[in-house]
Amino acid sequence: MITMLLGIVAGMIGVLETLLDVVSQQGYTPTANLDAYAAIVISALGIVISFFARRHPKTSGVLLYACGIGGFIFAKWSYIPPGIVFFIAATIAVFFDMREKTS
């Protein structure tokens, strides 16, 4: 559950931060080019992947790592906050078993 929430928060931060950087043209993503669109798509993909974290935590954790790295490649320094949250969510998903156990 925490992995899903962290993934959703990271994706929303990534989308909003990239959009604000493009609109204000003051950040490290100065123009609306392919890199900015790719960062937005990766953030949205991270939101979708986080919904699968309850059933497939290991797979979604690896994909959330990829979203964090991919966002940093495309959006550079402005993607550090969502990238860190993606890494935290991915680490929880991969290394900790957070699935609900039935009795």
Question: For residue range 30-55, what is the model confidence (pLDDT) as tens digits?
Answer: 567 888 889 999 999 999 999 998 88
Q: Distance (Å, rounded) from C-alpha 58 to C-alpha 90?
A: 8
Q: Express the helix, strand and coil content of the chain in percent, nearest 5 each.
A: 80, 0, 20
Confidence at residue 100, expressed as pLDDT on a 0 to 100 scale: 67
Q: Which of 17-26, 54-63, 87-96 has the lowest mean pLDDT?
A: 17-26
Q: Distance (Å, rounded) from C-alpha 75 to C-alpha 59?
A: 24
Within 13 Å, how many C-alpha atoms sit on residue 62's CB side? 3
Output the CA torsion 2→71→39→43 (10° steps): -10
Closest CA relative to residue 17, chosen from 81, 64, 89 = 81
The pLDDT of residue 94 is above 60: yes
- pTM of the prediction? 0.85
27/46: higher pLDDT: 46
> Is residue 36 a contact partner of residue 18, using CB atoms and an 8 Å limit?
yes
Number of neighbouring beta carbons within 10 Å of residue 88: 17
